[in-house]
Structure 1
Amino acid sequence: MKKFFTAVLIIFAFAIQGNTQELRCNVTVSARGIQGANQNLFRTMQSDLYEFMNNRKWTEHVYSYDEKIRCNILIRLDEQISADEFKGSIQVQLTRPIYNSSYTSTVLNIKDNDFHCKYVEFQPLEFNETSNRDNLTNIMAYYAYVILGFDYDTFSEEGGTEFFQKAQSIVNNSQNARERGWKAFESERNRYWLIENVMNKSYSSFRTCMYNYHRLGLDMMSERVEEGRANVANSLRDIQKVFRRRPSTYILQMFFDAKADELVNIFSKSYPDERNRVMAILNEVDPSNGSKYEKIAENEGL
């Protein structure tokens, strides 16, 4: 009898592991800008979105708890159009643990100002991959797949393609949506252009950079600092290729929004020749953060 219960427990444990979801996503909904609003509504919304992101299976892969992808979503609601319709922004952050260290690297830090949704308290959130019936779940699912795509890209070359394709399908299905954020003509930096840039073969060196920067660069630095740092430096040449092809590409802004401070920290501890090469690239491709990159030349770690 004891062996029977032991076997049942083992099977149960494997069943739980097999159904473990991929995301460890912290979701915050803030509606402080909406005067007189029922704050209980937004607390329920936050709870529902947390469940939607964390309790749904987004892939066919098996994850242990420690392997879950860590991300944060902050939704700021600034305008209440009707009893169940809201406008605001959504900020999405993805972090990645670095091999054999306690350090986590920011992979994504996106702010999307075209957040427009309907939400009815206690009504189940439904997502349909083939329609644009619910803009709220479309946005959340879109960013879930973007998070997965970028995370997988940092562990294997173009490993996130299947998830980027799913995000692109959501964009395609949303071309008739009345809400902003899905169409090319509405902005040069929105959900449409994010996924277009990532999937555009003309900018494929961006995805090469994401792999080389993280897997061959940061992951190597815990054991071979100089070699790993050199690989990070070399990966910036791929970013330079994208810049020289199209300087205003949205993914360039995304990259440096996530990486500018980290690059300063990495190369402030580098050799003069390497620092000079890196600064030359950074000042060309990201002049808006030039004052930050001056710290590299000072040879002072942050």
Structure 2
Amino acid sequence: MHKYLYILLILVVTMSWSQELNCNVVVNAQQTGNENVQVFKTLERQLKEFVNNTQWTNKSYKNQERIDCSMVVTITDYDTDRFQASLQIQSSRPVFGSTYGSPTYNFNDKDFSFQYLEFQNFVYNPTQFESNLISVLSFHVYMILGIDADTFSPNGGDEYYQQAQTILNYSQQNNAKGWSLQDGRQTRFILIDNMLSPTFEDFRNVLYSYHREGMDQMSANPKAAKSTIVESIQLLQKMNSKRPNSFLMRVFFDTKSDEIEQIFSGGPTVNVSDLISTLTKIAPMHSSKWRNINF
């Protein structure tokens, strides 16, 4: 009896500490000409352990519930312990009734400089700056969590966006690029500022309706699901009329353009003439894909 209780206790503890992310982390140093230097391999291993083993929330995730994502750190230059890089982040969420993962976040963070000594400890502090390396990674982890939560419940990502905002606030003391309004229009600052702004509340509504009311219904009623997705995209037109060419619009279509092209290039037919017109207007950079939507 005691043996079974002991096994049950181990299972409960394991489940309660299951981490939130299933993240593939790659450090690519080819541009430095020294990609085989050991420090890059150590950095990759430590980053992978940090992202996947840190407890980012107080919620319990089963292994099959962990969010699939990837982070590719491309080192462009380094000198001793100082590194210049870019960071490509992608994540997806499962679609109900299928084995398909719908992309939810696709962000190329070009303002990524950091200091790193081989084997240094990686510690995340939710209220205090540790290093720019930790801050940038943690910021994007909470963006992944926030967007994922928004796709499952209306405004479900609030607490995660608030934590991303907290990270931004205490990281500004470091004076590294990407944390300030003065750093440009396609930065971490602009991203979280827009996500929390009432001006862009339609964007978060779209995240929910597109995924929960659209994609998750595809296996049961694909035609109705596609019509819901059309309505979701039309809602972005409303947002665009208030703030044309917003950064959030670019982030959305960088993430979803391939999927939208595939959804409306096969399967049950729905009226897409207005959709194509809307897509061409609000996301002209992907017009070659919209031309493939031909029925």
TM-score category by the smaller chain?
A: over 0.9
The answer (yes or no) to whether the contact 2:75–2:86 under 8 Å persists in 1 is yes
The answer (yes or no) to whether the contact 1:77–1:89 under 8 Å persists in 2 is yes
Task: Tell which deviates more after alignment, 279-288 or 205-214.
Answer: 279-288
Counterpart residue type for residue 239 of structure 2? V
Structure 2 residue aligned with 1:230, among 202, 224, 227? 227
1:127-161 C-alpha deviation (Å, 9 max, x unpaired): 22233340000011101100000000000001011
Aligned to 1:72, the other structure's residue is in SS state: strand
Structure 1 residue aligned with 2:136, among 139, 142, 147? 139
% same residue: 33
Counterpart residue type for residue 256 of structure 1? F
Structure 1 residue aligned with 2:15, among 14, 17, 29? 17
Structure 1 residue aligned with 2:89, among 88, 92, 96? 92
Aligned to 2:30, the other structure's residue is in SS state: coil
TM-score by length of 1: 0.94
Structure 2 residue aligned with 1:52, among 50, 53, 57? 50
C-alpha separation between the residues in 2 aligned to 1:87 and 1:61?
Answer: 34
The answer (yes or no) to whether the contact 1:268–1:275 under 8 Å persists in 2 is no
C-alpha separation between the residues in 1 aligned to 2:95 and 2:37?
Answer: 38
Aligned to 1:291, the other structure's residue is in SS state: helix
Aligned to 2:117, the other structure's residue is in SS state: coil
Task: Tell which deviates more after alignment, 19-28 or 31-40.
Answer: 31-40
Structure 2 residue aligned with 1:155, among 143, 147, 152? 152
1:183 matched residue in structure 2: 180
- Is there any run of 5+ residues in structure 2 with no aligned partner, and where? none
- Is there any run of 5+ residues in structure 1 with no aligned partner, and where? none
2:76 matched residue in structure 1: 78
The answer (yes or no) to whether the contact 2:194–2:200 under 8 Å persists in 1 is yes
The answer (yes or no) to whether the contact 2:93–2:102 under 8 Å persists in 1 is yes
User: How much is the aligned-residue C-alpha RMSD, in angstroms?
Assistant: 1.4
Structure 1 residue aligned with 2:255, among 240, 254, 258? 258
The answer (yes or no) to whether the contact 2:223–2:268 under 8 Å persists in 1 is no
1:59-96 C-alpha deviation (Å, 9 max, x unpaired): 1111110000000000000011x311100100000111
1:174-215 C-alpha deviation (Å, 9 max, x unpaired): 222221011011110000001011111111000000000000
1:209 pairs with 2:206: yes
1:286 matched residue in structure 2: 283
C-alpha separation between the residues in 2 aligned to 1:270 and 1:287?
Answer: 25
Aligned to 2:272, the other structure's residue is in SS state: helix
TM-score by length of 2: 0.97
1:172 pairs with 2:182: no
C-alpha separation between the residues in 1 aligned to 2:47 and 2:129?
Answer: 18
The answer (yes or no) to whether the contact 1:149–1:160 under 8 Å persists in 2 is yes
